[in-house]
Amino acid sequence: MLAIQLSVEDLVSRIPDGAKVAVPPDYSFCAMAAVRALIRRGVRDLHLVGVPTFGFQGDMLIGAGCVGTVETSAVTLSEYGLAPRFTKAIKDASIKMMDATCPAVHAALQASEKGIPFIPLRGLVGSDILANRADWKVGDNPFAENDDPIVFLPALKPDVALIHAPMADKFGNVWIGVRRELMLMAHASKHTLVTVEKIIDGNLMDDAQLKPGTIPGLYVTAMAEAHEGAWPLGIPGGYDADHKHLADYAEAARTDEGFQGYLDRFVHETAAAAE
């Protein structure tokens, strides 16, 4: 069965206001072209889940007023410093923050992947993170001979996993290589929307070397071809990140005026010029 192939704009039109959207960290495959399209569309009140963290894509969405809730273990621009739009939103209390840890994000997604309502996790008892997560419960290990409190996390099931990938085939199979967090996101989410560098004619599942790093089309709702769709971030093994552009963004986004100028130039005007 052939996959649903859309334009980037039509792809993101499947993400409604208020959707819970899972996105990967900057060092993975990030759908930056889709993020810009979401901002242009004016999506609102997203519940953004970082798997297990996020950076530039989340900072841009937050700054553009697209996000109501953030659930992640960290928001950072890495060597470029703090995420300025996220930092401002937290200080202004304009978004809801659900702090987590990397193991907690992965475990909660794994519960959804496995179709179970919750999953136990150690390492949280006594932490400030646990104290501020009313949805996480402390219970007794039913198999312990002595007292053994453990945390139970509810399954985390995003409405949408939004990712970019180097390639896919016409059947919707998407090659992600070693980026296993993307496989987890696709398994756990209700829908998976993917932008790809290229769509090939063959079947990735017929290649014994590529198959282990491929998300089966069964888990992919729709996809769009987007050359350099991760820019200004890069694709490991594909093209490098645009480090000057990323540094310029980090500087511009420190102020409301600078961020708006960035959006005007690289989100709105660039798109208009391409039409």
CATH number of the domain enclosing 171: 3.40.1080.10
Give me the pLDDT at residue 131, please: 94
In a domain, 25, yes or no: yes
Give me the pLDDT at residue 270, please: 67
Contact 30, 57 (CB under 8 A): yes
Domain span at 143:
118-154
Q: How many separate domains does the chain show?
A: 2
Residue 21 CA to residue 23 CA, distance in Å, equals: 6
For residues 139 and 47, membership in a common domain is answered with: no
For residues 256 and 214, membership in a common domain is answered with: yes
pLDDT tens by residue, 216-251: 999 999 999 999 999 999 998 889 999 999 999 999
Residue among 85, 79, 81, 78 at smallest CA distance from 70: 85
For residues 32 and 122, membership in a common domain is answered with: no
For residues 122 and 135, membership in a common domain is answered with: yes
pLDDT tens by residue, 70-80: 999 999 999 99
Does residue 274 surpass a pLDDT of 60? no
In a domain, 247, yes or no: yes
In a domain, 246, yes or no: yes
Per the structure block, which two tokens stand in for 163?
Answer: 């990712």
For residues 161 and 148, membership in a common domain is answered with: no
In a domain, 106, yes or no: no
Does residue 165 surpass a pLDDT of 70? yes
Long-range contacts made by residues 109-115, C-beta under 8 angstroms, separation at least 24? 109/22, 109/51, 109/156, 109/184, 109/185, 109/187, 109/188, 110/184, 110/188, 111/153, 111/154, 111/155, 111/156, 112/155, 112/156, 112/157, 112/187, 112/188, 112/189, 113/184, 113/187, 113/188
Model confidence band, residue 269 (pLDDT cutoffs 50, 70, 90) = confident
Give me the pLDDT at residue 3, please: 82
User: Looking at residue 4, what DSSP letter applies?
Assistant: P
Q: What is the mean pLDDT of residues 75-96?
A: 97
For residues 51 and 161, membership in a common domain is answered with: yes
pLDDT tens by residue, 173-206: 999 999 999 999 999 999 999 999 999 999 999 9
For residues 177 and 236, membership in a common domain is answered with: yes
For residues 138 and 255, membership in a common domain is answered with: no
Contact 35, 46 (CB under 8 A): no
Please say which residue of 131, 154, 177 terminates a domain. Answer: 154
Per the structure block, which two tokens stand in for 117?
Answer: 């309502």
In a domain, 87, yes or no: yes
Per the structure block, which two tokens stand in for 210?
Answer: 């590529």
Give me the pLDDT at residue 54, please: 98
For residues 28 and 137, membership in a common domain is answered with: no
User: Looking at residue 159, what DSSP letter applies?
Assistant: S
For residues 199 and 226, membership in a common domain is answered with: yes
For residues 87 and 54, membership in a common domain is answered with: yes
In a domain, 110, yes or no: no
In a domain, 112, yes or no: no
Mean pLDDT, the chain, whole residue set: 96
pLDDT tens by residue, 34-70: 999 999 999 999 999 999 999 999 999 999 999 999 9
Residue 187 CA to residue 161 CA, distance in Å, equals: 9
Contact 244, 28 (CB under 8 A): no
Give me the pLDDT at residue 104, please: 98
Give me the pLDDT at residue 272, please: 54
For residues 128 and 47, membership in a common domain is answered with: no
Does residue 273 surpass a pLDDT of 70? no
In a domain, 109, yes or no: no
pLDDT tens by residue, 17-39: 999 999 999 999 999 999 999 99
